[in-house]
Structure 1
């Protein structure tokens, strides 16, 4: 991605850490949580790879079309899964945003001003609004709720507050990545 090196590495660390936790969540005993965690792990690691500062590593030209294909497939899977769960609509928007960013990056190799002086394109602005709203709503949902008595020990993959924090982190990362376009 385009932008300063230090914040770029912080974004890489945030997204990679989130992806790693999502891999741990894939060990959950609840099938729906495992499925969602797999998609979120893909998103976290994909965002981490895409966020590596361009001043440190310039990926080969075939990388961006590959990202577009991988996240295009993830978007199709999320669209199919959205029939049963509205949560997958967010995965669809996230995957589509990754495809959009990959296409923009493929169209502007080495350029630090992808959109020129025309301001923020409509799609980038719409995605920024969506993810900003998602981050704010996720932050409110992260406020701890009373724990039900007698629930017993919960494994790392089944902790809803950590899953919400994971989604919040990826939403923040998406906002940061969209701002650098």
Structure 2
């Protein structure tokens, strides 16, 4: 049975709440979650080209809706393979530049099998970018700059996250991620 879009959205938001915000992986996420300025869109495409078109369509939507600060584009059926996902990210970043959106929007990347180039797949540090589904996070550059100005030195965030997740361990991080699939639906 196919999981519904609303369930995928709720699972994604459960991950944002219970992992990203609760462990302060991104110190900016709590404010956006509380303000309701995070949009989650499910893309059911089975082709990379269509997924790239959906990315451009979402950017156009964000251009018309400045009250929405950020979008998580979730791909539940595409990019099961992490390397295939990385190919998409490379094309997506090139597309942003070609479309003139470099410096206006940026992408953050998340995947269930995320693995940093200098890490082993089982390293707990990979969980900073592991998510319930493959997704890209579209962020407005201006909002990122404001958040950095408010927060201060963001260079320490990755180090802090690596230390936190290493202390937590891969087993506990994976258990937290898996709990998102059992999150109660909010009406």
More helix by share: 1
TM, length-normalised to structure 2:
0.30
More strand by share: 2
Higher RCO (CA-CA < 8 Å; seq separation 6+) = 1
TM, length-normalised to structure 1:
0.30
